[in-house]
Amino acid sequence: MHGNDRLIADLVAVLGEAHVLSDPGLTVGYETDWTGAFTGRAAAVVRPASTGEVAAVLRVCAAHEVPVVPQGGNTGLVGGSVPAGVAVGAVLLSLRRLTSIDPVDAAAGLVSAGAGATLADVQAHARAAGHGIGVDFAARDSATLGGIAATNAGGERVLRHGMTRGQVAGLEAVLADGAVVRRLSGLPKDNVGYDLPSLLVGSEGTLGIITRVQLRLVAPPAARTTALVAMADVAAAVEFVAVLRATVGSLDAVELVFGDGIDLVCAHQGLPAPFPRWAGRMSAARTPHLLLECAGRDDPTDELAAAVEKAAGVSDVAVATTAVDRDRLWTYREGHTAAVNAAGVPVKLDVAVPLARIAAFVDDLRELVRVAAPAARLHLWGHLAEANLHVNVTGLDRDDTLGRAGLAEMILTRAAADGGSIGAEHGVGRAKMAWMGLSRSPAELAALAAVKHALDPVGLLNPGVLIQPYGIGARCR
Ligand code: FAD
Ligand code: MLT
Ligand code: ZN
């Protein structure tokens, strides 16, 4: 039997034929990332349904010296969820069948779910029991709890609830040797050694396969008000953030979009302009807009309106208090990712720059990209309260001197020069491996590699992500 046939036979022995896919017609749907930038053939796609099956799959892959790429909803934006680059020929381990959700533990304020449960399903489950979840973003219908934990996802509620790491109370994972580590006691006070759940959160599939996640419940607000506010410039928007933090206790989200981004979403989805006086013409392309949301026990509309009335540099304002109208305003914000991808596979970057420097950063970036790639289009938006900017470039010309990698390096170097981060919320994946040294010192990189080598000595898990491949991962293909 050929080596790959033996691998498939051993995987089938563990999972059954229906859940080991090796026909290219069946695997193809798993092999390209959401953006279309990363793709590669898998030796097989496997779909275990339990923690025990995940452990068995890892043992089979280790025995055959074939690396493993974990995948949840495949909405990741840095290429970590597909067998591209050095991981071509890896086994793609889909967690999507691990979907069970436990009843909420109202007294402890916790809910546990399988790694394959989608964020939207867990949100709906919590809502039905009178609770909320502190993580939210546009990919909620596909992104899974395992992927969200593995990437330490950020999103639109970080201002109030923090990143995913702050919402994860515990988890279960299978390590590279098939050992299962489980911390699901739900005890908030439990200082016995290193905190393995914290380490696994944000590890992007390189330290273990997350099989179950326990999230904190948050109190759902009784009332929400959303406003889209056009500001004079980014500096005014940043000043307004300071005022909002100080005076609006119900503040729940501060998101940033620009006029040209709103136009792109309108064109992509066939939406009307958000402000009546825009009707029939395009917006001012570089006008920054804040999407603000307040949430609380009492109607926060007056509190938000009072802050907006006093703010300097506000031009247009649209306010929404009903769920339908709020969703309509959020569409102008959440529609950016799909609208940009529809314009072509972008150079897709996700940086954070200290708020005090972000206005100058935006100006510099526009000029740098204009000079380096005159025909290209720069798309900017993000989560302003967290100083997190999504920088996407489409329409690169073959003659642009830097190319895609050079352009990415220029932008990331500029962010790092301001004391920024090259990977704010999406992670590093395969997309930004080459530039980790811009955000982490040699000593930090050595410590990360030491952790990886200790937990995955044979180099089985997600080679080419975060850490230079070695062992099995270096012998792939
Ligand atoms: P995948 O894409 O399948 O995987 C992501 C990474 O995690 C990969 O490295 C993979 O190997 C690893 N992984 C997946 N599951 C497991 C597991 N069970 N165990 C171990 N490793 C695993 N991200 C944000 O942070 N904020 C946003 O606001 C945001 N908005 C988005 C909007 C859109 C429209 C889209 C398409 C994406 C957005 N993202 C955002 C990115 C993405 O949704 C998140 O990174 C999400 O957490 C990925 O979840 P997933 O289940 O799709 O993971
Ligand atoms: C967003 O906030 O829109 C997301 O992180 C997705 C993206 O950057 O495209
Ligand atoms: Zn984002």
For the domain that residue 151 is a member of, what is the CATH number? 3.30.465.10
C-beta 75 within 6 A of ligand 1? yes
Per-residue pLDDT tens, the chain, 477 aa: give them. Answer: 677 999 999 999 999 999 999 999 999 999 999 999 999 999 999 999 999 999 999 999 999 999 999 999 999 999 999 999 999 999 999 999 999 999 999 999 999 999 999 999 999 999 999 999 999 999 999 999 999 999 999 999 999 999 999 999 999 999 999 999 999 999 999 999 999 999 999 999 999 999 999 999 999 999 999 999 999 999 999 999 999 999 999 999 999 999 999 999 999 999 999 998 776 667 899 999 999 999 999 999 999 999 999 999 898 999 999 999 999 999 999 999 999 999 999 999 999 999 999 999 999 999 999 999 999 999 999 999 999 999 999 999 887 789 999 999 999 999 999 999 999 999 999 999 999 999 999 999 999 999 999 999 999 999 999 999 999 999 876
Q: What is the total residue count of the chain?
A: 477
Residue nearest to atom 43 of ligand 1 (CA): 75
pLDDT at position 279 is 67
Burial code of 288-322, b = ≥16 C-beta within 10 A, e = fewer? bbbbbbbbbeeebbebbeebbeebeebebbbbbee
Ligand nearest to the CA of 334: 2
pLDDT at position 397 is 87
C-beta 46 within 6 A of ligand 1? no
332 and 357 housed in the same domain: no
Closest atom, ligand 2, to C-alpha of 337: 9
Ligand nearest to the CA of 426: 1
Ligand nearest to the CA of 32: 1
210 and 227 housed in the same domain: no
Of the three residues 173, 202, 218, the one that is the final residue of a domain is: 218
149 and 206 housed in the same domain: yes
Residue 434 lies in a domain: no
Q: Classify residue 391 as exposed, middle or buried by CB count within 10 Å of its CB (0-12, 13-18, 19+).
A: buried
C-beta 382 within 6 A of ligand 1? no
Distance, CA 344 to ligand 2 centroid (Å)?
Answer: 16
Which H, E and C letters describe 101-116, residue by residue? Answer: ECCCECCCCEEEEECC
Residue 445 lies in a domain: no
Residues with CB under 6 A from ligand 2: 77, 138, 336-337, 350, 390
Distance, CA 370 to ligand 1 centroid (Å)?
Answer: 31
User: Which DSSP string corresponds to 428-439?
Assistant: -TTTSGGGGGGT
Residue nearest to atom 38 of ligand 1 (CA): 139
Rounded to an integer, what distance in angstroms lies between the CA atom of residue 215 and that of residue 58?
26
3-class DSSP assignment, residue 332: helix
Residue 182 lies in a domain: yes
Which tokens is 190 given? 């439990």
Query: Are the CB atoms for 286 and 367 separated by under 8 Å?
Result: no
Distance, CA 454 to ligand 2 centroid (Å)?
Answer: 33
Instruction: Kindly give the interhelix angle for 3-15 and 51-64, rounded to the nearest 10 degrees.
Output: 160
pLDDT at position 399 is 79
Q: What are the helix (H) ranges across 98-202?
A: 119-128, 145-151, 158-161, 164-167, 196-200
Rounded to an integer, what distance in angstroms lies between the CA atom of residue 78 and that of residue 314?
35
Q: What does the longest C-alpha to C-alpha distance in the chain come to?
A: 75
Residue nearest to atom 21 of ligand 1 (CA): 205
Residue nearest to atom 8 of ligand 2 (CA): 390
166 and 194 housed in the same domain: yes
State residue 227 phi and psi, 5-degree precision: -140, 140
Closest atom, ligand 2, to C-alpha of 255: 2
227 and 331 housed in the same domain: yes
C-beta 205 within 6 A of ligand 1? yes
Residue 83 lies in a domain: yes
For the domain that residue 64 is a member of, what is the CATH number? 3.30.43.10
Of the three residues 309, 338, 367, the one that is the final residue of a domain is: 338
Residue 441 lies in a domain: no
Model confidence, pTM: 0.98
User: Domains in the chain: how many in total?
Assistant: 4
Residue 292 lies in a domain: yes
233 and 293 housed in the same domain: yes
- How far apart, in Å, are the Cα atoms of 145 and each of 112, 181, 215, 239, 383? 10, 17, 9, 35, 21
115 and 190 housed in the same domain: yes
Domain range for 254 is 223-338
Residue nearest to atom 44 of ligand 1 (CA): 76
330 and 350 housed in the same domain: no
Of the three residues 179, 195, 218, the one that is the final residue of a domain is: 218
Tally Cβ neighbours within 10 Å of residue 438. Answer: 18
C-beta 348 within 6 A of ligand 1? no
